[in-house]
Amino acid sequence: MLIKVNGRSFEISENVSINNIKEKMYSNSDMVIINGLPIKEDKILKDKDELTFIKKGEKPKKEELETLMVSRHTKGVFEKLKKSVVGVAGLGGLGSNIAIFLARIGVGKLVLVDFDVVEPSNLNRQQYYIRHIGMKKTDAIKEIIKEINPYILVEVVDRYLDKDNAIYTFKECDVVIEAFDNAKCKAELVNAILLDTNKYIISGNGMAGSFSSNSIITKKINSRFYVCGDGENEAKEGSGLMAPRVSIAAGHMANMAVRILLGDSEV
C-alpha cells in the first residue's frame, strides 16, 4: 500500500496502524491528522491515506511547512488548487480578505490589482495594519501574504483597471474576482471578461450595514458569472461598510472561486 506521511510517500504492508507510524517516525508529535481530519484514536491505515504529524509550538523545517499548512484541507484539494491562477480586481474590504482566503487555501498563483494606498479608514474592514498606512495596497497585501503562505506566487499590479487593460491584466487567470466599490468599474470589468474571454467572473453586490448575515448569498447569473451579496444594501449614509458583512461576502466569493477551480460550477 502507498501512503503519504508529512508530504512524503511510503510503501507499507497491510495492518499497519497510525501508532505504528508515529512510534517509528514522529514519536514526539502532539497532533495527528488523517485525510484532513484530526484524530486521537489509533486505526489501521488504508491505501492512499494521508497522515500528518504535528508538534505543537515547534516551527517546522521549510520543506515540511507547506504540507503542515494544508494538512486540514479536504483530501485532494491542494493538488488541484496549486495549479490554478486567480485574479482579484481591487484590494479593499472584499479584495484584501479574498486574497488572504485564497492564499491560506493554497491557490498556486494570485494576480492582485489595485492602484490605491492604505489609509486609516480602511482599517475598519480591510486586512491591513497601522504599519501599512501610506503604503500601496499591492505592496501591503504582498507583504501580508508572504507571512501567511510563502509557497504561492503573488503577482501584484499597481494599475487602474478599465475595459482596455482588464483582458491583458488577467490573461493567465482561470477565475477573475471583481472587488470594486465603483459601479461603473464593476460593470466594465464584468462585461470585458464575459464578452471577450471564456473565463469565470465573480462579483460582489450588497454587503453594507449590519443586516442579517443570512441575506448574503451566492447567485449564478449564467454559466460563467456569479454575484455574491444581498443584492440590495450598498454603502450609503447611515449604512456603511463594516468588517463582519464584508467578510461574509468575501468568504462567499472566495469559496465560489474554489468550487469552480475544483470542477463544481454550481452554487
DSSP per position, 59-105: PPPHHHHHHHHTTTSPTTHHHHHHT-EEEEE--SHHHHHHHHHHHHH
Residues 37 and 114 in one domain: no
CA-nearest of 52, 48, 51 to 60 is 52
> Taking a C-beta distance cutoff of 8 angstroms, is the pair 85, 93 a contact?
no
Q: 67 and 84: one domain?
A: no
- Are 87 and 156 within 8 A, CB to CB? no
128 lies in a domain?
Answer: yes
* 87 and 185 inside one domain: yes
Per-residue model confidence (pLDDT) at position 76:
85
Band (pLDDT 50/70/90 cuts) for residue 209 is very high
Same domain (yes/no): 163, 242: yes
Could you tell me the pLDDT band of residue 197, with boundaries at 50, 70 and 90?
A: very high
Look at residues 71, 90, 108 and tell me which one is the last residue of a structural domain: 71
Query: Closest by alpha carbon to 243, among 123, 91, 104, 95?
Result: 123
Task: Answer yes or no: do 41 and 88 share one domain.
Answer: no
Q: Are residues 120 and 213 located together in one domain of the fold?
A: yes
Using DSSP, state whether 190 is helix, strand or coil. helix
* 36 and 114 fall within a common domain: no
CATH of the domain at 65: 3.10.20.30
**Band of residue 219 on the pLDDT scale cut at 50, 70, 90:** very high
Say if strands 109-114 and 85-89 run parallel, antiparallel, or are unpaired: parallel
**What pLDDT is attached to residue 251?**
98
Q: Which of 14-28, 65-79, 92-106, 144-158 has the lowest mean pLDDT?
A: 65-79
Inside any domain, residue 12: yes
What are the pLDDT digits (tens) for 31-55? 999 999 999 999 999 999 999 999 9
Q: Provide mean pLDDT across the span 177-204.
A: 96
Q: What is the structure's pLDDT at 221?
A: 98
- Give Cα 50 distance to the centre of its chain: 22
CATH number of the domain to which 169 belongs: 3.40.50.720
Q: Which of 56-60, 129-133, 244-248 has the lowest mean pLDDT?
A: 56-60
Q: pLDDT value at position 36?
A: 96
As for how many domains the chain has, the answer is: 2
**pLDDT greater than 90 at residue 106:** yes
Q: Are residues 109 and 218 in the same domain?
A: yes
Statement: residue 63 has pLDDT above 90? no
Domain-embedded: residue 183: yes
- Residue 188 located in a structural domain: yes
Residue 177 and residue 45 share a domain: no
- The H or E element containing residue 226 is strand 225-229
| Domain finish residue from 71, 102, 121 | 71
Which of 42, 71, 100 terminates a domain? The answer is 71
> What pTM was computed for the model?
0.94
| Residue 11 is assigned to a structural domain of this protein | yes
Question: Are residues 119 and 234 both part of a single domain?
Answer: yes
211 in any annotated domain? yes
| Average pLDDT, integer, range 238-262 | 97
Q: Please state, in angstroms and rounded to a whole number, the distance separating the CA atoms of residues 211 and 214.
A: 9
Does residue 193 belong to any structural domain of this protein?
A: yes
Residues 112 and 236 reside in one and the same domain: yes
For residue 53, the enclosing domain spans 2-71
pLDDT band at 120 (very low <50, low <70, confident <90, very high): very high
- Same-domain pairing of 159 and 36: no
**Would you say residue 267 lies in a domain?**
no
Mean pLDDT, the chain, rounded, equals: 96
